[in-house]
Amino acid sequence: MLIITTPTFASAPSAGLEAVWPGPKALVIFPDSGLTSQRIRQLEDEFFTFEFLQHPGCVSGIFPILARFMATQFRESDTPLLYLNRPMTPQECEGSLLPEDLGLYDFTCEFSDDGTLSMLRLGEMIATSPLFLALMRVVGEKPVDDALFVDLLRETFAWSLK
């Protein structure tokens, strides 16, 4: 599953990573995206689009919503998960983040200078685990900051991170 935000989308060429990523793709549209209604409708052919009227503030305000509305796609997915909330590098645009580059148990994250989760890669065994959706339901009840969200993921999937 590919989940990108409008800062990522704005930095990617028109046929970037989303064109080659297999499986479901979600575009999270923030209020300051600058995308027109017409452009959003066009993107709905390629992405599940989620337009936020207020900035969610943290990734734990995004993932539970996606997991709830895309539960079938999460359950049926057989690909790793990649979340990007930062401009893409040219290498990423050329495909260095393709699913085949991720290990089954991959767990990689990056934070921006302000502590926001800017990238999360979860290997197939983590992204497709029923525990992932269960954790999203729990986190959805009370959003937490991005660092704690990553800690909760790490703790939940500690068996796979050896």
CATH number for the domain spanning 20: value is: 3.90.550
SS (H, E, C) the chain: CEEEEHHHHHHCCCCCHHHHCCCCEEEEECCCCCCCHHHHHHHCCCCEEEECCCCCCCHHHCHHHHHHHCHHHHHHCCCCEEEECCCCCHHHHCCCCCHHHCCCCCEEEEECCCCCEEEEEECHHHHCCHHHHHHHHHHHHCCCCHHHHHHHHHHHCHHHCC
Lowest-pLDDT range of 3-12, 14-23, 91-100, 124-133: 91-100
Domain assignment of residue 72, given as a range: 2-160
Is the pLDDT assigned to residue 145 strictly greater than 90? Answer: yes
Instruction: Domain count for the chain, please give it.
Output: 1
**Tens digit of pLDDT for each residue in 25-34?**
999 999 988 8
What is the pLDDT at residue 124?
86
**Tens digit of pLDDT for each residue in 65-87?**
999 999 999 888 888 888 999 87
The pTM is what? 0.86
